Structure 1
Amino acid sequence: MKSFTSLKLLLSSVVILFTLQACGGEEMSENSEDDTPIIPVEVSSVSRGNISAYYSNTATLEAEQEATVVSKVRGIIEEIYVEEGDMVQAGQVIAKIEDDQYQIEADRAKATLDRLYNDYQRNKELFDRELIAAETFQNSQFEYESQKATYDLAQLNLEYTSVRSPISGVISRRHVKAGNMIGTDQPMYRVTDFTPLQAILHIPEHEMSKIRNNQRAELRVDALPNEMFIGHVERISPVVDSETGTFKVTIYVDETKDMLRPGMFGRVKIVYDTRENTRMIPKSAVISEDLAQSVYVIKDSLAFKKEIQTGYTNGSNVEVINGLDDGEMVVTIGQGSLQDSSKVSVIESL
């Protein structure tokens, strides 16, 4: 009897042991299901705003009006009145050439002119009274008119000894010094008008339908990386260069902020279309695979992959035409570790 009781106790212990082991296995199985990794990601919400499409190219700034001042007479430079960087007005005297010789020539021409004028007047009176032949009168008239032209030329050369600026602007270069001997048509100064400055673009012909007069243009130059300057399309050439397949577009810079100078190298963007109040997401959220584009959308701490259709790209943002709703959260950093329905933990971006 005691043996049977002992056997019964032993069997009960074994059953209890197996039951406990089975329960422990179920708990381990449940724990293993909860061990799915949680992936940290950064997110951004779908927002609304304006986004533009633009054509971008590089160009060197130029002054639309620039003139080289040359000497119109030969002589020694007596005075230099302006230096590089000085502002000048159109017609302002900027240098003086010695004029002694030209003054003497003008005085001599004037004396001869006065004598011939008296002869002409006397012969005219005699001719009117029919006391001299017509040929004599006409010869005196021709001599007087010829000498008048000689006097006018002498006066003009005398005036040219005062060198004047042909345009208003800034002296951008001085080629001569006081005391130099200068010849006719020799460069003396270069005058540059900084208003307006322009950028010349040569744009591929397939972009011609997008470019119009007065379109907004944005300019950034390497020398001033933190500044943006606004301009507009001033002129569009109506012909395409058959050798390069491009057409010429002239951009005027409307506001130089007194910081831009001719010769600066810049990047120009012509804005040819703007969509207002459109959906946008950061460009870093978009995954491009073959011809398809998609994003990961966060919902209830899970990441779901959704295909989208994008439009314009501007800076760090991209337009979403369809596939997303306002306010949805998309993954911007961490997509490479995600699969559809992955568990995620949203972290704040620094």
Structure 2
Amino acid sequence: MMKKKTILIAGAVVLLAAGGILFRVIKGMEKPAEYETRPTVSAEAPQTGDIVLYTDLTGTVEPQSRAAVMPKIGGEVLEVYFQAGDQVQAGQALLKIDSDALTSLKLQMESAKVAADEAAREYGRIEPLYAGGYASQQSMEQARDGAESARLAYEAAKHQYDLQLEYTSVTAPISGTVETRNVEPHDHVSTGTEVCVISAGDQVQVEFGVTEKTRSNLAAGDTVAISKNGTDYSGRVTEIGSMVNPSTGLYDVKAEVDRADGLTSGTRVKLTAVLDQARGVMTVPVDAVNYAAGQPFVYCYEDGVAKKTMILGGIYDSQRMEVKSGLQPDSQVITSWSNELVDGANVLLEEAQQEAGE
């Protein structure tokens, strides 16, 4: 009995050993799993497009048309017909002046009138005498010339008086809003006294200063964005200074505003203008650009290899950079990042990996 049990145990051991050998043989016949070690990258060809950079500026609102009103005759102000802030029309009376010069001119006109009437009567007396042969031709011509000369002198005196009389009423040269009133009744004014300033309120412009770089990208007719207290306006450049303003060190620029509701003269506004621009140029994503010793370069995909390619970059915004040279239109610029991405590294294009997965 004991002998039979021993034989069974030995048989089991033999079977286990044979099974182990068979498992190792089968295991050795299986193909080992393969793992992709190349970094996967995305690539795209350069694109043609525009890059426009903007700069924020500050400007001052001012009337497009403004007139400083000064009287054309000196004297005492009798009446003032306006207040600061009033809307006035061109030709509207603003104030009345009493001038001593006008009194003198009136006396001169009246004296000239008397002389003209007397000369005309004398000519009227001589003319029939000359016709009847009782006066000489010389007397008749002297009387005629005297009458004509006196008439002209009177007309000149009357014209001067009428002109100065007109000047005693100071009128608005343009329609608009009175910005300032600098005169009161009984003040004495001269021809150099600024009695008020009128601005054409429906036509305003914004004056601002720009650097030489910004000026080189501005042209008459360009549009600038204007903002004031959350309200946006559109302006059009009308004037660009050719000399630097010594007080600011900038070039003066003016832009007219089409719709000026809410913009008052003298207020400050924010403007946005073109700082620099490149149109119709080759561009690549900014994130694809690397730098070595300050020089830009990209990696290009070529037959499964990442190739370091130096480029000459231009301006750039938050998305894309201008490429002036170094790339071809069909270059495949690697746009994804990997710490294994170096010059000459074997890489797997994302599209190829997707096709392999399918």
TM range (shorter): 0.5 to 0.7
The residue that corresponds to 2:116 in the other structure is 117
Note the C-alpha offset of 1:83.
Answer: 1.0
SS at match of 2:200: strand
| Alpha-carbon distance in structure 2 between the residues aligned to 1:68 and 1:139 | 45
Residue 92 (1) aligns with residue 95 (2)? no
Contact 1:229–1:253 (CA under 8 A) maintained in structure 2: no
Deviations 1:113-143 (A, max 9, x none): 4433333433555676654253454344333
Identity in percent: 20
Residue 232 (1) aligns with residue 236 (2)? yes
SS at match of 1:234: strand
| 2:261 aligned to which of 252, 258, 263 | 258
CA RMSD of aligned residues (A): 4.9
Which protein has the bigger strand share? 1
| Alpha-carbon distance in structure 1 between the residues aligned to 2:105 and 2:84 | 33
> What are the residue-to-residue correspondences of 1:94-173 with 2, within 5 Å?
94-98=94-98, 108-125=107-124, 130=130, 131=135, 132=139, 134-173=141-180
The residue that corresponds to 1:319 in the other structure is 320
| Alpha-carbon distance in structure 2 between the residues aligned to 1:240 and 1:51 | 28
2:320 partner letter: E
SS at match of 2:199: strand
| Alpha-carbon distance in structure 1 between the residues aligned to 2:243 and 2:157 | 51
Note the C-alpha offset of 1:255.
Answer: 3.1
In structure 2, do the counterparts of structure 1 residues 319 and 105 end up closer, same or farther at CA, with 3 Å as the change threshold?
same
| Alpha-carbon distance in structure 2 between the residues aligned to 1:162 and 1:230 | 40
2:239 partner letter: R
Note the C-alpha offset of 1:82.
Answer: 1.3
Count of residue correspondences: 271
Contact 2:69–2:194 (CA under 8 A) maintained in structure 1: yes
104-113 or 66-75, which deviates more:
104-113
In structure 2, do the counterparts of structure 1 residues 203 and 279 end up closer, same or farther at CA, with 3 Å as the change threshold?
closer
SS at match of 2:266: coil
Deviations 1:2-28 (A, max 9, x none): xxxxxxxxxxxxxxxxxxxxxxxxxxx
Contact 1:215–1:270 (CA under 8 A) maintained in structure 2: no
- Structure 1: 5+ residue stretches without partners: 1-48, 296-306, 331-338, 342-350
| Alpha-carbon distance in structure 1 between the residues aligned to 2:245 and 2:215 | 14
SS at match of 1:84: coil
The residue that corresponds to 1:215 in the other structure is 222
| Alpha-carbon distance in structure 1 between the residues aligned to 2:91 and 2:287 | 58
The structure number with the bigger radius of gyration is 2
Contact 1:313–1:319 (CA under 8 A) maintained in structure 2: yes
In structure 2, do the counterparts of structure 1 residues 216 and 329 end up closer, same or farther at CA, with 3 Å as the change threshold?
farther
Note the C-alpha offset of 1:175.
Answer: 0.7
146-155 or 57-66, which deviates more:
57-66
Note the C-alpha offset of 1:241.
Answer: 5.9
In structure 2, do the counterparts of structure 1 residues 308 and 267 end up closer, same or farther at CA, with 3 Å as the change threshold?
farther
| 1:179 aligned to which of 174, 183, 186 | 186
| Alpha-carbon distance in structure 2 between the residues aligned to 1:115 and 1:64 | 51
| Alpha-carbon distance in structure 2 between the residues aligned to 1:213 and 1:185 | 36
SS at match of 2:155: helix
| Alpha-carbon distance in structure 2 between the residues aligned to 1:262 and 1:208 | 25
In structure 2, do the counterparts of structure 1 residues 114 and 248 end up closer, same or farther at CA, with 3 Å as the change threshold?
same
Contact 2:181–2:195 (CA under 8 A) maintained in structure 1: yes
Residue 62 (1) aligns with residue 62 (2)? yes
Deviations 1:291-310 (A, max 9, x none): 36799xxxxxxxxxxx9998
| Alpha-carbon distance in structure 1 between the residues aligned to 2:284 and 2:229 | 26
In structure 2, do the counterparts of structure 1 residues 247 and 136 end up closer, same or farther at CA, with 3 Å as the change threshold?
farther
In structure 2, do the counterparts of structure 1 residues 263 and 292 end up closer, same or farther at CA, with 3 Å as the change threshold?
farther
1:197 partner letter: Q
Contact 1:89–1:167 (CA under 8 A) maintained in structure 2: yes
SS at match of 2:64: strand
In structure 2, do the counterparts of structure 1 residues 58 and 309 end up closer, same or farther at CA, with 3 Å as the change threshold?
farther
